[in-house]
Amino acid sequence: MRVELEETAELRFGDGSPVRAASAIAPFGDGWLVVQDDATHAAWWRVGAVTAVRVVEPVDGLDVFSEAEGTKHLKPDFEAACPVAPDRVLLLGSGSAAARTRASLVTSQGAFTVADLTPVYRAVADALGLRDGQLNLEGACRVGDRMRWFQRGNLHAGVPTMSVDVDLAALLAAVTGVGSADRVEVGAVRRYDLGAVDGVGLAVTDAVTLPDRRVLVSAAAEDTPNAVDDGPVVASALALIDGDEVRATVELPEHSGGAHKVEGLAIREETTDGVRLWAVVDADDPAAASQQLVLRLRW
C-alpha cells in the first residue's frame, strides 16, 4: 500500500471554537459526524458549516471535561462511531472506566438515545481475557450483521490488539430498550500483530469496512502505560486486515510537530486503484482544534 496526505484543515464550529479531541468520524445525513471524546456534543460537518449535535446529557452539569480541570474521569469517552443507517450513528464508550460503558444512538433529526451497556462491556472483556483496567475499545465497523469491535492494545502492558464480533441487531435492541444488554452475543475473537515503531507497539484507533469486506484500520504507536493516560505518539499508520491476517501496513506522513494521532477514519470515496479517506486527529490538547485530513490510499 501507498498513502499520500492530500489535504489538512482545522475543524471549528461556526462560532470559531475548536472541535476538541476528535475520536471518530462517520457518515451522517448529508455530512459527517465527528465525535469529541471529552464533550457531550459531537460535530456535524457539512459543506460550509460545522454544528454541534448533542449526544449525551450534561454530566454533573458539565458539557466539556479535561484533566487540568479535574473532570477527565467524568467524560463519556465515546471512541467509536459505527454507522447503522444513513441518518443514524451508534457511538460507543471505550470501556476504560465505569463511566465509559455507555452507548448513544444519534440521529440526524436531532434525537439521541443513551444506554448503559455494562453487561456487554463485561462480556467483551471476558471474551478478550482482560483484567480490570485493561479494556480500551477504540474502533468499530459493521461486517455483515455483526459489529467488529477493536481493543486498542498496549504492548508495554502486555495487551495485544484484538477484536470481537457483536450481534449488531441485539446491541441496537439493548440501546433502544426493546432488548436486554445481557442477551447480546459476543464472540469471534481475533488477535492482530500490527508491529512497532521505535519500540512502541502500533494499536488500533478506528476501523472501516471496505466494499470487499476487508477491514482498514488506523493505528497509533502511543507510549503510554495504561488505557487512560495519554502519552507521546511516535507514529501513526494504516493497516489492511483480511479476517485474522494483517495483509499490509503503511506509516502515515508526519507534520512539522511530529506524528498525526489519527483516531477516526471514514471512506470518502472509492478510486480506481484504492480509496480516498477522511481522517480526524486528536491533538490531546483541549484548546487545539482537531485536524481533518484527506488521505489517498493506493493498493
Instruction: Compute the distance between CA of residue 143 and CA of residue 136 in angstroms, rounded to an integer.
Output: 20
Cell readout for 291 is 485536524
Residue 287 has a pLDDT of 81
Residues of the chain with pLDDT under 50: 227
Instruction: Compute the distance between CA of residue 9 and CA of residue 245 in angstroms, rounded to an integer.
Output: 33
Cell readout for 241 is 486486515
Q: Give the chain's domains with CATH numbers.
A: 2-298 (2.120.10)
CA distances from 154 to 50, 192, 228 (A): 34, 12, 11
**With contact defined as beta carbons under 8 Å apart, do 240 and 297 qualify?**
no
pLDDT tens digits, 24-46: 999 999 999 999 999 999 999 99
Residue 154 has a pLDDT of 86
Residue 68 has a pLDDT of 87
